[in-house]
Structure 1
Amino acid sequence: MTTIGIIGSGNIGSQLAHAFTRVGHDVVVANSRGPASLAELVADVDAQARAAGSAASATAGTVEEAAQARDLVVVTVPLKAVTDIPAHLLEGRIVIDTNNYYPQRDGQIAELDDESTTSSELVAGHFSGARVVKAFNHIPAAEISEHAQAPGTDGRRALAVYGDDAAAVERVSGLIDAIGFDVVNGGGLAESWRIQRDTPGYIPRFTAEELRGKLAEAKRYRDM
């Protein structure tokens, strides 16, 4: 058992709290509104973990407590809010970045608009002392629970991961497999545009073989 910090308690953060505790990992969940706002979520996560036969539990914490819970932290806040998280809190940690760039929500970001970088590279630039892995950005939140299946299940859904640190990617890949999905390693963060919004692999359910094909089909916005 390990402890996983989750910064962000929206749809993805809540579903990951359920998924991680079901397979035996404690979680510390935080949001911008403070621990008191998380009482209902924590109670629900704990109840579902017990129902699944898991002894793991959820704790509501501050952003600082979630960031420093252990060496693995999920950052699942809007892209525009990432820089509100002090970078030093995640020094030396593996950070799972679930983000997508939505200009109508995040404002226009010139280097993403001209595709000179990717959203995950921006996140990695902010958390420069962390090892960032892109994951969970292309699956609807509810399907993290609904589509989870045991390893070896025929037609098991696959999720893509991207990262520049091989050990961090391997660690996150193992976690994804444990909660119910095959994994496709797409390469470094610079290639993570292949699973951004509006690309062929974004949102629908695919097996590993199918997802590899969709990633290969992806085109830059400027080429569409």
Structure 2
Amino acid sequence: MKIGIIGAGNIGGNLTRRLTALGHDVSVANSRGPETLKALAEETGATPVEAAEAARGAAVVVVTVPLLKVPDLPAGLLDGAAEGFAVIDTNNYYPQERDGRIAAIEDGGLTESRWVEGHLGHPVIKAFNGTYAQDLLDKALPAGDPDRIALPVAGDEEVAKRTVRALIDELGFDSVDAGGLDDSWRQQPGTPVYGLRAGVEAVTKALAETSPERPEEFRGQSR
């Protein structure tokens, strides 16, 4: 499968490593240009490209840049992707540490990924946002293993969600359907499932026990 990864930080870099190892055709981009991705490309066999080219022909596009950088992504970022392609959003909102206060999230009631979706102009599937990057390399297990970690997956497009869940399974993890994108607050930072290394039953329980109130440490400072 052709996969475009936009963002080559911890999650993007390790997804590049795993997905190329599984035989997928991966194009990877960052904000500094393909020449800065030479080492990752040599290590993995992925193709370094400009961000505007990463989605071309891709069946899956992973957007894994800091949330505050999403509005700066190139116009037409998803142009040329394969028919029926899925977009994975791995983002988290860290207003106090990094992103500053985003009114549409704080006051407008948008989930983080709904806000991202609005900027991208295409439905997204929220996944990998609470996953430790190193776990992508170290914690993969075969299907049926009782110690297999489960990841929550939220989104409105059922076909795209099935594609993403199948990819997660291939990577060596179970998944739990966390509902539509407006339900994705259940897996945002500060929730019980965020960073949880557990199986399907525990992840399902954690999603059900989540409060819709954003924890104080993950709220932007009032002006």
Q: Give me the TM-score of the superposition, normalised by structure 1.
A: 0.89
Give the whole-Å Cα distance in 1 for the aligned partners of 2:108 and 2:171. Answer: 32
Pairwise CA RMSD: 1.6
| 2:49 match | 61
Q: Which amino acid aligns with 1:19?
A: R
Mapping of residues 63-212 of structure 1, within 5 Å: 63-91=51-79, 93-104=85-96, 105-114=98-107, 116-128=109-121, 130-212=122-204
**Residues 38 and 186 (structure 1), Cα distance of their counterparts in 2 relative to 1, 3 Å cut:** same
Q: Which amino acid aligns with 1:127?
A: L
Aligned partner of residue 160 in structure 1, secondary structure: strand
**Residues 212 and 38 (structure 1), Cα distance of their counterparts in 2 relative to 1, 3 Å cut:** same
Q: Percent identity?
A: 48
Give the whole-Å Cα distance in 2 for the aligned partners of 1:39 and 1:67. Answer: 19
| 2:4 match | 5
Aligned partner of residue 101 in structure 1, secondary structure: coil
| 2:209 match | 217
Give the whole-Å Cα distance in 2 for the aligned partners of 1:138 and 1:115. Answer: 23
Give the whole-Å Cα distance in 1 for the aligned partners of 2:30 and 2:62. Answer: 12
Q: In the alignment, is the contact (CA less than 8 A) between 2:150 and 2:176 conserved in 1? A: yes
Q: CA deviation at 1:123?
A: 0.9
Q: Any idea what the Cα deviations from partners look like across 1:88-134, whole Å, max 9, x if unmatched?
A: 22156421000000013111012322461101001111122x23100
Q: CA deviation at 1:69?
A: 4.1
Which stretch has the larger CA shift, 83-92 or 199-208? 83-92
Q: Which amino acid aligns with 2:2?
A: T
Q: CA deviation at 1:140?
A: 1.0
Q: Which runs of 4+ in 1 moved over 4 A?
A: none
Q: CA deviation at 1:14?
A: 0.3
Q: Any idea what the Cα deviations from partners look like across 1:27-47, whole Å, max 9, x if unmatched?
A: 1010011011001111222xx
Q: In the alignment, is the contact (CA less than 8 A) between 1:87 and 1:126 conserved in 2? A: no
Give the whole-Å Cα distance in 2 for the aligned partners of 1:178 and 1:204. Answer: 20
**Residues 223 and 19 (structure 1), Cα distance of their counterparts in 2 relative to 1, 3 Å cut:** closer
Number of aligned residue pairs: give it.
211
Give the whole-Å Cα distance in 1 for the aligned partners of 2:108 and 2:214. Answer: 8
Q: In the alignment, is the contact (CA less than 8 A) between 1:68 and 1:89 conserved in 2? A: no
Q: Give me the TM-score of the superposition, normalised by structure 2.
A: 0.90
Which stretch has the larger CA shift, 60-69 or 75-84? 60-69
Q: Which amino acid aligns with 2:105?
A: L
Aligned partner of residue 4 in structure 1, secondary structure: strand
**Residues 34 and 159 (structure 1), Cα distance of their counterparts in 2 relative to 1, 3 Å cut:** same
